């Protein structure tokens, strides 16, 4: 698995657009790649499968924080190995996903999940992996949860705040709190 300090792989994936545009077949799809949102921090999170139980709780939670991430000059990309058509169908039939403000990327060839090293060896689907990638394309945070356990998007936000502070941040540090100062 890729980890902190590694370059996040370049990719070009079809995606369901965020918001209302992503609900109309004529305007639902776009392509996301390295040039998309260039110069921004990227939160890339993978989920195993559409039409499941834990996945929508995470996707909705990341969606609810999309504005807060944007305030921090970060974009959020959600990725699974399902196709863009499956993503669209899921959005159309899941009340909480209809207004999702983040794109849903389709890694049907498993190229991005494979390059990141986050494919489940048994199921062949993406693990619940999360990467925080800086504007230069370097991974600054990497985390993987068991398929049965959802992650905490607020913790990802906390880590992003700490990374963007460029300071030494103690355990459980939150934006606005004192940072550590080494003795001179």
d(CA 133, CA 138): 5
Cα–Cα distance list, 132 to 37, 91, 129, 142, 161 (Å): 14, 25, 10, 7, 11
**Residue 169 a catalytic site member:** no
Residue 72 CB partners (closer than 8 Å, separation 6+): 41, 157, 160, 161, 164
d(CA 31, CA 77): 12
Catalytic residue among 55, 116, 169, 171: 55
First to last CA, the chain: 37
Catalytic residues: 55
């Amino acid at each position: 698995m890729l980890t902190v300090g590694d370059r996040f792989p370049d990719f070009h994936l079809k995606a369901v657009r965020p918001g209302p545009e992503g609900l109309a077949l004529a305007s639902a799809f776009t392509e996301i790649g390295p040039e998309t949102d260039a110069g921004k921090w990227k939160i890339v999170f993978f989920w195993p499968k559409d039409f499941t139980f834990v996945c929508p709780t995470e996707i909705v939670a990341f969606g609810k924080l999309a504005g807060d991430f944007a305030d921090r000059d970060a974009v959020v990309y959600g990725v699974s190995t399902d196709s863009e058509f499956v993503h669209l169908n899921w959005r159309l039939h899941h009340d909480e996903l209809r207004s999702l403000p983040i794109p849903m990327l389709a890694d049907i060839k498993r190229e991005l999940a494979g390059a990141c090293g986050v494919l489940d060896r048994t199921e062949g689907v993406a693990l619940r992996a999360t990467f925080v990638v800086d504007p230069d394309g370097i991974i600054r945070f990497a985390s993987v949860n068991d398929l049965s356990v959802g992650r905490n998007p607020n913790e990802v936000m906390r880590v992003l705040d700490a990374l963007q502070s460029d300071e030494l941040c103690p355990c459980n540090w939150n934006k606005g709190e004192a940072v550590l100062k080494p003795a001179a």
